[in-house]
Amino acid sequence: EVQLVESGGGLVQPGGSLRLSCAASGFTFSRYWMHWVRQAPGKGPVWVSRINSDGNYPNYAESVKGRFTISRDNAKNTLYLQMNSLRAEDTAVYYCASLNEGATGWGQGTLVTVSS
Amino acid sequence: DIVMTQSPDSLAVSLGERATINCKSSQSVLYSSNNKNCLVWYQQKPGQPPKLLIYWASTRESGVPDRFSGSGSGTDFTLTISSLQAEDVAVYYCQQYYSIPITFGQGTRLEIK
């Protein structure tokens, strides 16, 4: 069973940075693409980024391109999201997700609040 | 970007009755390599992450009750709950994975009448 546990969220001022982590277990993490999805309070999910199995091919939503960096450490079964130049509109619960047939799951999410 | 539009935005159905939610994509999400539609349905309850119900538009995820079914192809899709149970009260989302960026519908809130 896919298990994903996010950490690293919190309150940050506009222009600040945060690094989110996602610890994966229950499946062969190194085989699969991984994603970050966020959900602002009272809104629907929005895809943020994905990375391929070996970490060489990231993709980003236009709204975060140039500010966020996705990466992974397959030896540690961990996915990361480095978030820089944060804005108020980045406030959301950030989910780590495996959206792969046979290995699907979402974490419980970590809340990022950008406010002065 | 592929725009996903769900209808209705909210729906109230009596217990034991059928609930139908529609999802339309702005372009086809049919993957020619395997002739399958790159569309999933999620259920989300308050304070929880989305839960996968259906993938490839019509394949039920393991453990999902068989009262949930998905249908459709190309640009038009439907999630049907054949006999609504109290625990089905939630927000339902469709999502396409045909192309990047992955996009979601705006959600349909399902309530008991």
Cβ proximity of A47 and A61 under 8 Å: yes
Residue A86 to residue A99: CA distance in whole angstroms:
26
**pLDDT of amino acid A102:** 83
Mean pLDDT throughout B70-81?
A: 98
Q: Do B102 and A35 touch (CB under 8 A)?
A: yes
Residue A80 has pLDDT above 90, yes or no: yes
Residue A87 has pLDDT above 90, yes or no: yes
Residues of B (67-106) whose Cβ lies below 8 Å from A: 91, 93, 95, 97, 100-106
For an interface test with A, which of B102, B103, B104, B106 has the most A Cβ atoms less than 10 Å from its Cβ? B102
Residue A35 to residue A51: CA distance in whole angstroms:
7
Residue A7 has pLDDT above 90, yes or no: yes
The CA-CA-CA angle for residues B21, B25, B27, to 5°, reads 160
Residue B57 pLDDT grade (very low, low, confident, very high; cuts 50, 70, 90): very high
Residue A12 to residue A88: CA distance in whole angstroms:
10
User: Which of A45, A50, A61 faces B50 most closely, judged by CB atoms?
Assistant: A45
Nearest to A29 by CA among A96, A115, A83: A96
Residue A45 to residue B50: CA distance in whole angstroms:
9
Give the count of alpha carbons within 13 A of A92, CB side only. 21
